[in-house]
Chains A and B, each alone.
Chain A
């Protein structure tokens, strides 16, 4: 590729494999010096045909498939799906289940935003922030693993309620974690607002004004950082959000710094919500019985994912297999403004601008419930280790001598 005379342009591909992207996506950036003059976005590398697969499975199987739309915000997808089915079947879930859904969804928001904060730090070469926030995120994941059995893909929702209860010790552990996080988050907020290199790299980058955000249909923290109050928890309360007070968080900066501040403040708000839920957790049943066949009908179900508005369209046809499900994940809505945000920026700001909408990517999960020969058993950490040692022994590898560092969970 020879540059034309007087035209000093160079095309640089960011993706599909690139250190700054944790998911496959391709951004062809045309540069003039260090300035981006043209950006082309090519996504779709991760299409798994999930919606088609749902059309040949029953509702419970579909629920688990839907939960795997995203590794980070899996709870919000299963909540949206369950809500839709419950609405079609005319079920109303027990209050305790509604509260547990909210607690898990706020814990999920915490871990998702902490993950984002770390990634953002890494994108601008601030690895210390990355390590700090991921260290804190680990505590949230530990508590999620204790509550749900998994660090990601929690599997706590079921049609008609939730599958597991929050016992006394779990509640105490959640309370411990939120007390720890409160100090940390206040520190990060202070850091974002006062650290000179951080604000030098974040302020004024990736501008998406209020008008543009409306035009491109931005959702979640991207819209809220532009001053648009778009929070499904407030606009259309679901689960226990009907009773739990949620304060709106918005900002007027409309840039990456604004999105950072919005996310940190949202986490602080999440702590409040979890605290309220723990204090007011009602007793009672966890599930109501759901029918196998769901009456025909159409439903649009919305939840507030960590990344924004999550919409599920479900059409049932009266059998035990659904007719059509369409998942609109929040990232899908935020791609459209990306080109607008990238053009005119410096190359150095491209990774953080892309990261600032928090594009979704999948994470590996660790299952601790195994299902063999129609027998379900639960395994704890130690049991899981013994199981894996046995598994390798059968294949002629003895790993029992490997020492494991002691696992400290809380603070």
Chain B
């Protein structure tokens, strides 16, 4: 646990805003609370360059109500996993690509675009992955309000019930 505590202490020392927002979950697991875009963009290069978190395994996209969450799962050579979280409001779901530091995350970011409707700035290419070609635009299946029963496989269209019903459901 000492190595993990040391990493946390180092991070808190460097970035004051991480105070109380980063903790050791258990052995070999460090979690943070969601950071906003500006904070995230400071912490990530530091982790990569100074603390040896050079391997990125995946990005998990989550739907947290009004926000979209992104959990970057990084690890260092000792096998310690750090889950660095970022959040952006759904109204402006912009994040910056991290593929310059972690080329292995290109497909995962593509997935965030396709499945969650995030806008990843600077991500090269525009192929549709993993959804098939011809998927209706603006329809993001991994968001909580997307319901598979309204999707018509024949015509590849997403037909949710009228807006009002949906709003009522949302307010409850």
Contacts and interface: CB of A to CB of B under 8 A. Distances in A.
Report A-B touching, CB under 8 Å: yes
Interface of A: 42-44, 47, 49, 51-53, 55, 87, 214-217, 235-236, 298, 300, 302, 309, 311, 313, 315, 323-324, 326, 328, 332-333, 335-336
B62 interface: yes
Contact of A216 (B25, B58, B62, B103): B103
Interface residues of B, number: 35
A324 B60 contact: yes
A309 B31 contact: no
A51 B142 contact: yes
B28 interface: yes
30 contacts: A43-B107, A44-B128, A44-B129, A44-B130, A44-B131, A47-B130, A49-B148, A52-B148, A53-B148, A55-B144, A87-B26, A215-B103, A217-B57, A235-B79, A236-B28, A236-B79, A298-B83, A302-B81, A311-B73, A313-B58, A313-B60, A313-B71, A324-B60, A326-B58, A328-B58, A332-B107, A333-B57, A333-B104, A335-B107, A336-B107
Interface of B: 25-26, 28-29, 31, 54-58, 60-63, 71, 73, 79, 81, 83, 102-104, 106-107, 127-132, 141-142, 144, 146, 148
Contacts of B130: 43-44, 47
A42 B103 CA distance: 16
A313 B70 CA distance: 12
A87 B63 CA distance: 23
Contact of A326 (B31, B60, B141): B60
Contacts of B132: 44, 47
Main SS class of interface, B: mixed
B142 A328 contact: no
A328 B57 contact: yes
Contact of A217 (B25, B83, B104, B148): B104
A311 B131 contact: no
A300 B73 contact: yes
Contacts of B71: 313
Given A44-B132, A332-B58, 12 more contacts: A42-B127, A44-B128, A44-B131, A51-B142, A53-B148, A217-B104, A236-B79, A298-B83, A313-B58, A326-B60, A332-B107, A336-B103
Nearest to A218: B104
